[in-house]
Amino acid sequence: TLMSRRPRTWRCSASSSALCMPARAWASAFSDDCETVDLPETMNALLWHAELIDKIYDRVSPASDDHIALVVREPVGVVGLVLPWNFPLLMLAWKIGPALAAGCSVVMKPAAETPLTALRLAELAMEAGLPRGVLNVLPGGVEAGEAIGRHMDIDAVSFTGSTATGTRFLGYAADSNAKEVTLEMGGKNPAIVMGDAENLDRVAAHIVQGAYWNMGENCSATSRLIVHRAVKDDLLARIEAHLRDWPMGDPLNPETRIGALVSSRHFEKVAGYLQRAGKPQTGGSAKDGFVEPTVIEVAPDDPLAREEVFGPVLAVLTMDSFDEAIRLANDTEYGLCASLFTANVKRAIRGARMLRAGTVTVNSFGEGDITTPFGGHKRSGFGGRDNGIDAHDQYTVLKTIWIDLADDRDEGVA
């Protein structure tokens, strides 16, 4: 009954206004927090997709003189959006921006740990005049996610979260209506530091930011450091020095850089990895929901080098050559992000091409911005991308309209 009342597609009467209004409402309500990540980036994502949609045109195929073919994109219909608990508002914006702009209705399921931002945004969307039933929130856990995945009236699912959970949606789709599925999943992201890397202090700052920002609870976090033997000791010393500027404590204190992990369950998972690991070079303590930023040297077959920990843990591997570095970096079931630090331009370009990852950064840590597609290879991603113009592909379907222009309507009729 809920699905029968929901419009499958919709059209905004004034270009971009329905998307812009929630963003402006957030800005007005929380202007004191605009220096943080979620709010400004959320507003940017909604505004960017709202302003993009009327610049995306259909095309005409070069058919014969007697025919014309229009290739058009139409809204896919009702989209289920399954969201993670890290960056819950921003990940929501990455998906509802292109989905609503394309004309889809959405049912979004926030993570069980973080439902409030989605519920508040839905309230603001209603205040802004979004038609009833276009944007819907379904809080819940595994049962709610499976219901979305199996629902016969949901035409597509866009998921961000762990690989173990995301791959279930392929099964749900196969068992129901073969709905389209886009998955943005986990990563075991390497940072390669060659012996010729310039300004090791700056490199260390990027490594620390990539590994420990948001307590490492970030799918694009740098979780593997593959460093040339010639600079390893120097770089690790600089990383340890930078970590002195990352105090651990109360998450509500603006001076805190490392807060508690998201839940006791997740804390136990991360702490378990550290208990089974060897002696760390830096950090390693885990108590009362807090995990100290940890640097630990490992072998390539160590679980810390192969499995997604999703915490403030940096696994260090030593290499002696460029080819060995690329081999170690690609020796994973994941392929979301990678970084390469080198002063050699040719090596940088070759390495970026050889690394099997959806995003490769050179001499920096990052994942692009709203203009660049974000997603992974292998078990890090499937079916499409968030962000950029390419994000609209997962919320639209192609249709060919073939028109016969021949004078004699009886000829060439199939």
For residue range 323-365, list pLDDT tens digits in order.
999 999 999 999 999 999 999 999 999 999 999 999 999 999 9
Mean pLDDT of 165-191: 98
Q: Are residues 131 and 194 in the same domain?
A: no
Q: Check residues 292 and 10 and name the one with the higher pLDDT.
A: 292
pLDDT digits (tens, 9 = 90+) for 36-87: 678 889 999 999 999 999 988 899 998 888 999 999 999 999 999 999 999 9
Per residue in 224-234, pLDDT (tens digit) is 999 999 999 99
The C-alpha atoms of residue 332 and residue 235 are separated, in whole angstroms, by 24
Distance CA 239, CA 20 (A): 41
Q: What is the pLDDT of residue 5?
A: 45
Q: Is 198 domain-assigned?
A: yes
Instruction: Kindly state whether residues 147 and 172 are assigned to the same domain.
Output: yes
Q: What CATH number is associated with residue 219?
A: 3.40.309.10
Asked if 45 and 173 sit in the same domain, the reply is: yes
Count CB neighbours of 164 within 10 A: 11
Whether residues 159 and 200 share a domain: the answer is no
CB 128 within 8 A of CB 100: no
- Edge-to-edge, what's the strand order for the sheet holding 189-193? 294-297, 313-319, 222-228, 189-193, 337-341, 359-362
Decide if pLDDT at 17 tops 60: no
pTM over 0.85: yes
Q: How many CB atoms lie within 10 A of CB 157?
A: 27
Nearest by Cα to 182 from 116, 124, 104, 115: 104
**Could you tell me the CATH number of the domain that includes residue 109?**
3.40.605.10
Residues 25 and 124 in one domain: yes
260-317 pLDDT tens trace: 999 999 999 999 999 999 899 999 999 999 999 999 999 999 999 999 999 999 999 9
324 is a domain residue: yes
Query: In the block, which residue shows the tokens 């843990």?
Result: 313
Percent of the chain with pLDDT over 90: 84
In the chain, the amino acid numbered 3 is M
Tens digits of residue pLDDT in 142-176: 999 999 999 999 999 999 999 999 999 999 999 99
Is 371 within the bounds of a domain? no
- Give pLDDT, residue 32: 39
3-state secondary structure string across 96-164: HHHHHHHCEEEEEECCCCCCHHHHHHHHHHHHHCCCCCCEEECCCCHHHHHHHHHCCCCCEEEEECCHH
Are 161 and 178 within one domain? yes
Domain carrying residue 13: 3-185+376-401
Q: How confident is the model at residue 6 (pLDDT cuts 50, 70, 90)?
A: low
Query: Is the domain of 263 the same as that of 150?
Result: no
Whether residue 173 is found in the same domain as residue 254: no
Total tally of structural domains belonging to the chain: 2
* pLDDT reported for residue 320: 99
Confidence tier at 242 by pLDDT (50, 70, 90): very high
| Active site (annotated) includes residue 184 | yes
Whether the pLDDT of residue 20 is over 90: the answer is no
Query: Taking 90 as the threshold, does the pLDDT of residue 25 lie above it?
Result: no
- More confident site: 399 or 367: 399
Residue 74 lies in a domain: yes
Inside any domain, residue 406: no
Say whether both 17 and 75 belong to one domain: yes
Indicate the average pLDDT of the chain: 91
Which residue among the candidates 41, 51, 184, 297 is catalytic per the annotation? Answer: 184
**Do residues 389 and 56 make contact, with C-beta atoms less than 8 angstroms apart?**
yes
Q: In what order do the strands lie in the sheet with 59-61?
A: 59-61, 67-75, 396-404
Check whether residue 212 and residue 234 sit in a common domain. yes
CA–CA gap between residue 8 and residue 103 (Å, rounded): 9
Can you say how many angstroms the Cα of residue 166 is from the centroid of all Cα atoms in its chain?
Answer: 13
Residues 140, 207: one domain? no
> 315 in a domain, yes or no?
yes
My answer on whether 119 and 79 are in the same domain is: yes
